[in-house]
Amino acid sequence: QVQLVESGGGLVQAGGSLRLSCAASGGTFSNYAMGWIRQAPGKEREIVAAISRTGGVTTYADSVKGRFTISRDNAKNTVYLQMNSLKPEDTAVYYCAASTRQIGVLLALYDYWGQGTQVTVSS
């Protein structure tokens, strides 16, 4: 069983940047595809970015393409989400999740979830 702990959230002004980190433990990190999923108040969860087990394949939601970058360091058991040019509509709780599939392109493919970290972007 994999445990996931997110960090790096906070309050930032529009146009600013944040870097989220997710530390994994309890399993072989390189066996899992990873994803960042967000949920804004009153909205459904949305996959923001996903990365394959080796990091060779990444996918992004259209709303964040060109602004967010997902990456992973398998030696450190950590996945990152670099968020630039942040907008008020990026405000949400951001979750890290792990999938035993090659890459998690659907919410249902994620098996393990972190507790989430709040990101608030002020206008």
- Whether 35 and 96 have beta carbons less than 8 Å apart is answered as yes
Bridge-based pairing state of the strands 117-122 and 10-13: parallel
pLDDT of residue 78: 98
Kindly state the percentage of the chain with pLDDT values over 70: 100
**What does the pLDDT look like over 51-71, one tens digit per residue?**
999 999 999 999 999 999 999
Measured CA to CA, the distance from residue 109 to residue 75 in angstroms comes to 24
**Residue 103 confidence class, pLDDT cut points 50, 70, 90:** confident
How many residues in the chain?
A: 123
CA angle (60, 108, 30) in 5-degree steps: 65
pLDDT surpasses 90 at 98: yes
pLDDT of residue 1: 86
Q: What is the mean pLDDT of residues 26-55?
A: 96
Computed over every residue of the chain, the mean pLDDT equals: 96
- Whether 67 and 85 have beta carbons less than 8 Å apart is answered as yes
- In which element (H, E) is residue 21 found? strand 18-25
pLDDT surpasses 90 at 2: yes
pLDDT of residue 102: 86
Measured CA to CA, the distance from residue 15 to residue 38 in angstroms comes to 19
